[in-house]
Amino acid sequence: MSLTERIAALEAELENAKARTADEVEKFRVAMLGRNGAITELFETFKQVTSEEKRALGQRMNQLKQAAQARLETLRSAVEAEGPAQQGPSIDLSAPALTEPLGSHHPISIIRDRIVEVFGRIGFTVSHGPEVEDDHHNFGALNFAPDHPARDMQDTFFVRSADPAQDRIDGIDTTITGLHPNELALRTHTSSVQVRVMETTKPPIRTVSPGRVYRNEAISARAHCMFHQVEGLYVDKGVSFAELKGTLDYFTKSMFGPDVTIRMRPSYFPFTEPSAEVDMSCTICGGAGCNICKHSGWVEIMGCGMVDPAVLANCGIDPEEYSGFAFGMGVERIAQLIYRVPDLRMYWENDVRFLDQFTAATFRS
Ligand code: PHE
């Protein structure tokens, strides 16, 4: 290649030179004007040419060098004008992924699902029923006497009939007197679901019914007008109280750990005979005594008993052939013992600072 051709080739190269980053600008500088750069080397060659050629090409050589310097400045200021963000590759593949804030399951859902799962392991299915119930399923079939106080307006939310004529009995406005014809109510427990299961299923029956229940309570740290239950029912030939106790012992150990023990105290429910309250050794203080167990070392966690033969008969199951046990617990209560939530109202305020704390548990359950 003659000197003229080399000059022309470099002129073209300068024209086309591009740089997107400061590094590329520097590479361009080194390649052209550095100690071993193309233009620097061309000047070395130029020293050796004849004086005739020097005269002919000297000016063009100087212009080439100036053009290279000008191009370098142009590229440098263009890259600087783009700002630092553009100086690296546009994606940093080594950067950690952006984390979207995670939602969480509600603590009551988490505990409800765990309770259901623990019973599922020993063969209990899950049953659901309506939250608006009739008297028969919520009370009648369960042996509540017609004048049982649980049917009273104090405890039960009755649902007004869609038919305004139903609001009057013998011409008296029952919405004022409280003598409302109580054909429908918000269920006060999920025992109503068990009635529905017994009415439609031939034993053996092993099922739990989780769900919302409603009672007319003043809202406080310890009570709410809506809460959640998981009730359980087992009906088969020869079901015994010992099996009830064994099942609940299995449940509490599965939920709270192998060290907890349970005890049963005689109690009363219209639909079970005999009936018992189940206490668990206090997991908060380990039995030493604390506020949660009212310094007794025991916390009440559920009610239970052998299904009253009259209830089986009400649901079309022969009590001579079958027996069964039932139990029922409040999910909020179990959750309180696990999460130590001091005030029931926190469950329903939906404060994200409260709910966020259950994100990890959501993905464990
Ligand atoms: N239905 C009872 C309640 O709501 C709980 C219970 C269920 C008790 C089954 C005994 C047997 O309080």
Closest ligand 1 atom, residue 189 Cα: 4
pLDDT band at residue 231 using 50, 70 and 90 as cut-offs: very high
- The pLDDT value recorded for residue 178 is 47
* Burial class (CB within 10 angstroms; exposed 0-12, middle 13-18, buried 19+) of 303: buried
For residue 333, report the distance from its CA to the centre of ligand 1, in Å.
14
- The pLDDT value recorded for residue 365 is 43
What does the alpha-carbon distance between residue 151 and residue 64 come to, in Å, rounded to a whole number? 103
Q: What is the CA radius of gyration of the chain?
A: 41
Domain chopping of the chain, boundaries: 3-84, 107-358
For residue 237, report the distance from its CA to the centre of ligand 1, in Å.
22
Residue with CA nearest ligand 1 atom 2: 328
Residue with CA nearest ligand 1 atom 4: 189
Lowest average pLDDT, out of 30-39, 74-83, 93-102, 174-183, goes to 174-183
- The pLDDT value recorded for residue 57 is 86
- The pLDDT value recorded for residue 177 is 46
pLDDT, tens only, 309-335? 999 999 999 999 999 999 999 999 999
Alpha carbon dihedral 84, 87, 91, 95, in 10-degree steps, equals -60
pLDDT band at residue 243 using 50, 70 and 90 as cut-offs: very high
Closest ligand 1 atom, residue 303 Cα: 8
Q: What is the CATH number of domain 107-358?
A: 3.30.930.10
**For 279-287, what is the mean pLDDT?**
89
pLDDT exceeds 70 at position 240 = yes
Q: Is 211 a pocket residue for ligand 1 (Cβ < 6 Å)? A: no
| Cα distances (angstroms) measured from residue 165 to each of 136, 137, 272, 348 | 22, 24, 37, 36
**Neighbouring C-beta atoms of residue 150, cutoff 10 Å:** 17
Q: Is 279 a pocket residue for ligand 1 (Cβ < 6 Å)? A: no
Among 115, 139, 189, 230, residue to substitute to test ligand 1 (most atoms within 8 Å of Cβ): 189
Residue type, 158: F
* Residue 46 exposure: Cα atoms within 13 Å on the Cβ side: 20
* Residue 201 exposure: Cα atoms within 13 Å on the Cβ side: 17
**For 254-261, what is the mean pLDDT?**
95
- The pLDDT value recorded for residue 238 is 97
Lowest average pLDDT, out of 99-108, 202-211, 316-325, 355-364, goes to 355-364
